[in-house]
């Protein structure tokens, strides 16, 4: 039963890294170039370039969106605002799964199918933890060797700066730019272990969970609640002696999903098996996503969900700003620890503690 | 297969209501009396009465907690603060399930077992929707005929005023008062269809989900995410020809729970069947709860969870106040609708919309 999947093979991993490193100096990398020499494009230049589908200008506009420089922020907002009327036409797919579930191979091979049909595909990511590793550009190129050099694909690693809220905002704005640049499909990838799934779920049309067959150990990493967000679950690495286990896992997940109420979309989440590595059943996965889009466009949920996502992000942003303003107030910073200590020693109720802090805050205006 | 459970029998329901109405005039109801003639107790009177375990004074103190009169609020807060050092010693059990799952009979019969052991039991509820029906006191007395007249039981319907946050605060403060009055066990009941489960989950030690056997229809009402909060699931009405279905449901839930990661508590949620009506297996359900408490007290999670619940409520209250202040600002109230319309017509991004509103808010200070 100790079947080692070829993808998990060290030699294979090493080979992939080696190949990518060989290629690295020749890879066109406008993101990196942008950091070295800031281009002097005007807002008009950006908008025109994006609407023309110019990939280099799109990449530089995304760099502007991700910049923490105040001036860039304002410029970026104007570019986005002008692109807004041309946005909204792509199919947005969220992809999550624990490390090792095979997300990269899945994206690489499903992505190649999509661009093979003449469609333009953008692959974005949300990984607030990537700040530590500082830019996983090489990583992303390594992970998606063929896709990363395809003319109809735009791959962008997770913005690395700041809070989840900040990262999510940048990714959502990048979706707008990609759509204005004529991209038909947008993937937003995330790792199913943190809080970023809610963020991704709130910006995509279809949320796909990639799982592995297994009796539990592999699933321990996935956060509670994620399964219930999924519009579809794919059991990956269903090949070789794994097939039987994958089918069993499929049945388990199907039974579990029956215990949940029907989602608002009216779409009963499906469970499929596939082998991204061996390119098995990826067509069925894609068909499921297409079916979902047709189904929800027909019943009105597709448009309704996008509107409620816009509202969600507005209210979410307001709340983040309110909290940021509160917790960064010098008087609050000064008092919070003492009040928390009182709370921990049961000297004060949570409600009195909150009221006391709020009184301090109000007096500071 | 059309087994009608005796509890769902109309005649039985009618009988219960009739019996309660017959009793109503003679039921000692300090809550109702309190509303008619506000008692002139001092803070000292309240605290002494509560610590002496005087049920009438406890009931009046809870009425004070629930009052929307500013003066009562301040008095209540002082009573609570003085009771705080005597609180924390009960076992707090959250109970949820859709209407019809048999929660009342479950609470009545398990409750009678608990008071039968000489323990003191408080039964509270959170149901923000109860505002419409204005006081379900008779309802609660009807629902728990024997328990409601037992000297060691204190039954209190959901506070009916205000937002979920307000209702939750009042219930949490009532728990403190009940504990100071020497209650050993506190039940907090909620209906598993709204947002109140998260609130209940955040104030109890053990969260119990009551389900019915069935192929789906009965489960449609339960909110997504609730199953993952449960420390235990009970399939109720497992009697007569329902037994087989209940056992099947038990297996389904057990399999589903295996797909979730182990909760932080280190306790693997259990699934049991019972018939509250026929008093079958209620001892096993109670044993599970006792086992959980012993297990989590031993690994430190019990105390840790209570501390994190205190923190949760403090931060939750702060956020509610921040939002309340923002959305009740006259300038925001005036602008919000227009900005939301712009958002819905894709004329503005959610982030710009939020920033614009926040700028308006800041200028108003």
Burial bucket for residue A253 (CB in 10 Å: 0-12, 13-18, 19+):
buried
pLDDT recorded at residue A133: 44
Q: Give the least confident one: A37-46, A325-334, B65-74, B259-268.
A: A37-46
Closest Cα partner for A189 from A265, A243, A127?
A127
Q: Check whether residue B277 and residue B327 sit in a common domain.
A: no
Q: Is B261 on the interface with A (CB under 8 A)?
A: yes
Q: Check whether residue B212 and residue B235 sit in a common domain.
A: yes
Token pair belonging to B191: 């209906």
Closest Cα partner for A258 from A266, A250, A249, A268?
A268
Q: Check whether residue B276 and residue B185 sit in a common domain.
A: yes
Asked if A223 lies within 8 A of B261 by C-beta distance, the reply is yes
Q: Is residue A255 part of a domain?
A: yes
What ipTM does the predicted assembly reach? 0.77
Asked if B326 lies within 8 A of A318 by C-beta distance, the reply is yes
Instruction: With cut-offs at 50, 70 and 90, classify the pLDDT of residue B120.
Output: very high
pLDDT in tens, B281-296: 999 999 999 999 999 9
pLDDT in tens, A109-136: 999 999 999 999 999 988 766 544 433 4
Q: Which residues does chain A have within 8 Å of residue B315's beta carbon, measured at their own beta carbons?
A: 354
Q: Check whether residue B353 and residue B224 sit in a common domain.
A: no
Q: Give the least confident one: A158-167, B11-20, B69-78, B244-253.
A: B11-20
Q: Is B147 on the interface with A (CB under 8 A)?
A: no
Helix (H) or strand (E) holding B107: helix B103-116
Point out the domain boundary residue: B299, B328, B345.
B299
Point out the domain boundary residue: A86, A109, A125.
A86
Q: Is residue A138 part of a domain?
A: yes
Q: Pick B197 or B220 by higher pLDDT.
A: B197
pLDDT in tens, A209-259: 998 886 454 454 566 678 888 999 999 999 999 999 999 989 888 888 887
Instruction: With cut-offs at 50, 70 and 90, classify the pLDDT of residue B320.
Output: confident
pLDDT recorded at residue B223: 66
pTM metric for this prediction: 0.76
Residue in A with minimal Cα distance to B312: A350
Mean pLDDT, rounded, of chain A: 85
Residue B45 has pLDDT above 70, yes or no: yes
Q: Check whether residue B133 and residue B228 sit in a common domain.
A: yes
Asked if B346 lies within 8 A of A261 by C-beta distance, the reply is no
Asked if B353 lies within 8 A of A322 by C-beta distance, the reply is no
The domain that contains B59 carries what CATH number? 1.20.5.170
pLDDT recorded at residue B165: 75
Q: Which residues does chain B have within 8 Å of residue A169's beta carbon, measured at their own beta carbons?
A: 351
pLDDT recorded at residue A275: 96
Q: Is residue A7 part of a domain?
A: no
Q: Check whether residue B95 and residue B151 sit in a common domain.
A: yes
The Cα–Cα gap between A51 and A46 comes to 9
- Closest approach of B40 to chain A, Cα-based (Å): 24
pLDDT recorded at residue A252: 84
Q: Is residue A210 part of a domain?
A: yes
Q: Check whether residue B157 and residue B270 sit in a common domain.
A: yes
Q: Is A223 on the interface with B (CB under 8 A)?
A: yes
Q: Is A1 on the interface with B (CB under 8 A)?
A: no
- Closest approach of A35 to chain B, Cα-based (Å): 25
Residue in B with minimal Cα distance to A193: B261
Instruction: With cut-offs at 50, 70 and 90, classify the pLDDT of residue A93.
Output: very high
Asked if A261 lies within 8 A of B81 by C-beta distance, the reply is no
Q: Is residue B60 part of a domain?
A: yes
Eight-state DSSP code of residue A190: E
Point out the domain boundary residue: B86, B102, B124.
B86
**Domain that includes residue A218, residue range:** 88-299
Instruction: With cut-offs at 50, 70 and 90, classify the pLDDT of residue B125.
Output: confident
The Cα–Cα gap between A147 and A137 comes to 14
Q: Is A132 on the interface with B (CB under 8 A)?
A: no
Closest Cα partner for B191 from B238, B149, B157?
B157
Residue B36 has pLDDT above 70, yes or no: no
Using only C-alpha atoms, chain B has a radius of gyration, in whole angstroms, of 22
Q: Check whether residue A117 and residue A260 sit in a common domain.
A: yes
Q: Check whether residue B219 and residue B261 sit in a common domain.
A: yes
pLDDT recorded at residue A13: 59
Which of A87, A314, A351 is closest, CB to CB, to B343? A314
Q: Give the least confident one: A56-65, A269-278, B62-71.
A: B62-71
Which of B84, B169, B259 is closest, CB to CB, to A219? B259
The Cα–Cα gap between B352 and B360 comes to 12
Residue in B with minimal Cα distance to A229: B224
Residue A195 has pLDDT above 60, yes or no: yes
pLDDT recorded at residue A364: 83
Q: Check whether residue B82 and residue B97 sit in a common domain.
A: no
Q: Check whether residue B58 and residue B125 sit in a common domain.
A: no
Q: Is B82 on the interface with A (CB under 8 A)?
A: no
Q: Pick A298 or A196 by higher pLDDT.
A: A298
Q: Is residue B304 part of a domain?
A: no
- Residue from A171, A256, A308, A336 to probe the interface with B (highest B Cβ count within 10 Å): A256
pLDDT recorded at residue B127: 76
pLDDT in tens, A222-232: 666 788 889 99
Residue B29 has pLDDT above 90, yes or no: no
Q: Is A17 on the interface with B (CB under 8 A)?
A: no
Q: Is A353 on the interface with B (CB under 8 A)?
A: yes
- Closest approach of B100 to chain A, Cα-based (Å): 17
Q: Which residues does chain B have within 8 Å of residue A255's beta carbon, measured at their own beta carbons?
A: 252, 255-256
DSSP A39-92: ----HHHHHHHHHTT-HHHHHHHHHHHH---HHHHHHHHHHHHHHGGG---SEE
Q: Is A15 on the interface with B (CB under 8 A)?
A: no
Split into its structural domains, chain B has a count of 3
The domain that contains A202 carries what CATH number? 3.40.50.300
pLDDT recorded at residue B134: 39
Q: Which of A140-144, A251-255, B318-322 has the highest mean pLDDT?
A: B318-322
Q: Give the least confident one: A203-212, A289-298, B91-100, B132-141.
A: B132-141
Closest Cα partner for A97 from A89, A105, A85?
A105
Mean pLDDT within A143-165: 84
pLDDT recorded at residue A12: 60
Mean pLDDT, rounded, of chain B: 85
Q: Check whether residue A153 and residue A290 sit in a common domain.
A: yes
Q: Is residue B27 part of a domain?
A: no
Q: Is residue A335 part of a domain?
A: yes
pLDDT in tens, B136-176: 433 455 678 899 899 999 999 887 656 777 788 899 999 99
Q: Is B176 on the interface with A (CB under 8 A)?
A: yes
The share of chain B scoring above pLDDT 90, in percent, equals 58
How many beta carbons lie within 10 A of that of residue A10, not counting itself?
A: 8
């Amino acid at each position: 039963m100790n079947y080692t999947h070829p993808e998990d093979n060290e030699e294979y991993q090493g080979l992939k890294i080696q190949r990518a490193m060989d290629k690295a100096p020749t890879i066109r990398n406008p993101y990196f170039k942008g950091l070295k020499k800031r281009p002097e494009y005007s807002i008009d230049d950006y908008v025109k370039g994006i609407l023309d589908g110019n990939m280099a200008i799109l990449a530089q506009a995304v760099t502007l969106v991700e910049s923490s420089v105040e001036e860039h922020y304002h410029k970026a907002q104007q570019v986005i605002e002008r692109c807004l009327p041309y946005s909204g036409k792509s199919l947005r797919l969220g992809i999550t799964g624990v490390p090792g579930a095979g997300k990269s191979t899945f994206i690489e091979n499903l992505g190649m199918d999509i661009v093979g049909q003449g469609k333009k595909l953008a692959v974005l990511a949300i990984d607030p933890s990537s700040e530590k590793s500082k830019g996983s550009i090489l990583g992303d190129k390594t992970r998606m060797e063929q896709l990363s050099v395809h003319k109809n694909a735009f791959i962008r690693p997770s913005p690395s700066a700041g809070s989840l809220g900040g990262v999510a905002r940048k990714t959502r704005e990048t979706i707008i730019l990609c759509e204005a640049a004529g991209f038909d499909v947008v993937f937003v990838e995330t790792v199913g272990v943190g809080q970023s799934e809610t963020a991704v779920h709130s910006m995509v049309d279809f949320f796909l969970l990639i799982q592995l067959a297994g009796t539990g150990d592999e699933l321990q990493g996935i956060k509670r609640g994620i399964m219930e967000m999924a519009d579809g679950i794919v059991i990956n690495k269903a090949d070789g002696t794994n097939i039987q286990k994958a089918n069993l896992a499929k049945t388990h997940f199907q039974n579990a999903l029956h215990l949940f109420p029907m989602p608002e979309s009216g779409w009963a989440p499906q469970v499929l098996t596939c082998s991204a590595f061996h390119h098995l059943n990826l067509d069925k996965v894609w068909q499921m996503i297409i079916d979902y889009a047709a189904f929800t466009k027909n019943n009105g949920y597709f448009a309704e969900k996008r509107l409620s996502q816009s509202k969600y992000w507005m209210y979410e942003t307001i709340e983040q700003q309110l909290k940021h303003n509160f917790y960064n107030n010098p008087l609050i910073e000064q008092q919070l620890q003492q009040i928390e200590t009182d709370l921990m020693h049961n000297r004060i109720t949570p409600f009195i503690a909150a009221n006391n802090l709020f009184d301090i805050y109000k007096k500071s205006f």
